Amino acid sequence: MCESKILHEVTAANDAYAADFGDKGKLALPPARGFAILTCMDARLDPAKYAGLAEGDAHVIRNAGGRASDDAIRSLVISHKLLGTKEWFVIHHTDCGMELFTTEIIGDLLADDLSTAHFDGKSWSNPQHKGGSVAGRYINWLTIRDLAGSVIEDVRRIRSHPLVPGDIPVYGFIYDVRTGRLIEVPDATAAGKIVA
């Protein structure tokens, strides 16, 4: 177990959490507050903290960018259809890594080498060139060109999905990593309003 420092730290932190678990073991499966958040995997974001969630409150779906991918839609539909959530948030954030590359750039980098690339503040380069995989060229990486625009488009995609009922409001926000504040994107929330 302890070959890895990270593995040791994570299990030690978990021991401390479990030792003071209290009544949390009695929580029910469906989210008590009946909503779901779709947001980015970014390390600086803690949705439980920035949105005030206790264990048991809400579903949290996270991927690179907080995008309304097919898999995020799968999760949101399960969240409503089987577990009863009635309101959804799409929350992207400032200084997102998804704004720093394109599907073409990561396809080229991965075809050349799989190890971590270097970013000089303007462009990416591979320190090694051991030969990567062309598999990256067959993936849509869902990068972001325009931050507010990506929130609006993701809300629109969710709103117009055939498996999403019209009575679920979808709110669009941007989290500011410099201030910790959620800033509403009014055009997104408007696009996500309840429809007949």
Q: What is the footprint of a second copy within residues 108-127 (CB under 8 A)?
A: 109-110, 114-117, 119, 124
Out of 102, 163, 190, 195, point to the residue binding a second copy (CB under 8 A).
163
Binding residues: 40, 42, 93, 96
Q: What is the footprint of a second copy within residues 69-88 (CB under 8 A)?
A: 69-72, 74-75, 77-84, 87
- Nearest approach in angstroms of CB 145 to a second copy is 16
180 binds a second copy (CB under 8 A): yes
Q: Sort 160 into a burial class: Cβ within 10 Å, 0-12 / 13-18 / 19+.
A: exposed
- Nearest approach in angstroms of CB 151 to a second copy is 15
Out of 104, 123, 129, 135, point to the residue binding a second copy (CB under 8 A).
135
Query: Using CA atoms, how far apart are residues 89 and 82, in angstroms rounded to an integer?
Result: 18
74-83 b/e with 16+ CB inside 10 Å = b? Answer: ebbbebbeee
User: Contact at 8 Å (CB) between 43 and 93?
Assistant: no
Which residue matches tokens 């503040």? 121
User: Contact at 8 Å (CB) between 147 and 94?
Assistant: yes
The DSSP 8-state label assigned to residue 22 in this structure reads G
Task: Output 26-30 pairs: Cβ under 8 A, ≥24 positions apart.
Answer: 27/55, 27/56, 28/56, 29/83, 30/83, 30/84
162 binds a second copy (CB under 8 A): yes
- Nearest approach in angstroms of CB 149 to a second copy is 20
* Tokens matching residue 164: 């999403």
**Residue number with CB closer to a second copy (54 or 146):** 54
184 binds a second copy (CB under 8 A): yes
Q: What is the footprint of a second copy within residues 21-50 (CB under 8 A)?
A: 21, 24-25, 27, 29-36, 41-46, 48-50
- Nearest approach in angstroms of CB 179 to a second copy is 6
Taking phi over 0 as left and psi of -120 to 50 as alpha, with beta for the rest, 11 belongs to alpha
**Residue number with CB closer to a second copy (146 or 184):** 184
- Nearest approach in angstroms of CB 48 to a second copy is 5
Binding residues for Zn(2+): 40, 42, 93, 96
